[in-house]
A = this chain, B = another copy of it.
Amino acid sequence: MVTIKDIATMANVSRSTVSRVLNNSGYVSEEARQRVEKVIEATGYVPSGYAKSLRTKQTKVIGVILPTIQTETPSRVVTGLGRELSKHGYQILLANTDHDKEKELEYLDLLVRQVDGIVLIATNTEPELTQKIKSMNLPFVMVGQEAENVICVTYDDYHVARDVTAFLVDKGHTQIGFIGVDETDQAVGCFRKKGFYDEMKSRDLSIEEAWVQKGVFDIDSGCKAMKKIIEDSKQRPTAIFAVTDRLAIGAMSYVKRIGMEIPKDIAIAGIGASELSQYVDPPLTTVDYKNETAGEEAAKQLLAFIQGEDYQKKIVLDYRLLSRDSV
């Protein structure tokens, strides 16, 4: 492997001069610069990243920890992150926890000395996690969940849920079911649920116990949750608010299977604006969360923090309700 030393020898200059050419720093005569550049070109020399990192204490790598890349939300966020980071010469080291909270902690340890910063696409906000993050004082951004004392980029889950609920009510529905997820996921589990309950309450609408079910982020569980709602409720709801598109699509697939028509017999709304949502039949009413923007925003804040510039501690992104035929 050709090193800076070889380049120096071949160009008949010192390593210092090669380094100056490489980094565009200090004084280098035009003549020397050209000689060096020619040698670099000829040899195809690429500086060793780790030698550089060792010396400069910068890796130009950002660690991204996420629960999975097989769903649209995280993969969109990563796309946004990548786009913004690569503009500034940063790369992404990917850590897929596969929904395993243990691994989340392990990866934090693993990454700490290898990256300039970490982005966590979070599904939980357990104290053990936030504790650890603070303890390793490394530039850090959390996407999708709120936490104390860290930079967060979040969505306004509470108001989204109120809006969706309000939308259903305004369409004339008074009996509305809800398919949520476990509350360890604060953003999706708690805030969206609370938004739903609060809006229903503010409209003086009551909620039958069986109308509220839980799933686990996949289509199949949306299907099962819907089944429970249909089978267990005394009075069937006329509308369903599912906290993710996949749950909503699962619910749709169940109600269609038992011969109900959407939206005539039951209206359904989701959240997430998955690509899928516009091609199911009927197209699903949902909320666009602009995940790529979230990724870009997270990258911007992280880089600002790293570079000692001004950054915003909390960013709450806006959203857009997409009204389609399922309601």
Contact = CB atoms under 8 A, between A and B. Distances in A.
Interface of A: 1, 46-51, 53-54, 59, 61, 64, 68-70, 72, 75-76, 78-79, 82-83, 86, 91-96, 98, 109-110, 112-114, 219, 249-250, 253, 256, 275-276, 279-281
Contact of A69 (B46, B75, B109): B75
Given A50-B50, A70-B79, A93 B95 contact: no
10 contacts: A48-B54, A49-B50, A69-B78, A75-B75, A78-B94, A82-B94, A83-B98, A86-B96, A91-B93, A279-B280
Contacts of A250: 279
B113 A47 contact: yes
A112 B46 contact: yes
A70 B59 contact: no
Contacts of A279: 219, 249-250, 253, 276, 280
Contacts of A50: 49-51, 53-54, 59, 114
A49 B96 contact: no
Contacts of A109: 46
B82 A219 contact: no
B82 A96 contact: yes
Given A50-B50, A91-B95, 20 more contacts: A46-B112, A48-B54, A49-B114, A50-B51, A50-B54, A50-B114, A69-B75, A70-B75, A78-B94, A83-B96, A91-B93, A91-B94, A91-B110, A92-B93, A92-B96, A93-B94, A249-B279, A256-B281, A279-B280, A280-B280
A94 B75 CA distance: 12
A89 to B, nearest CB: 9
A275 B219 CA distance: 9
A93 B93 contact: yes
Nearest to A89: B110
A211 to B, nearest CB: 23
A113 B49 contact: yes
Contacts of A86: 96
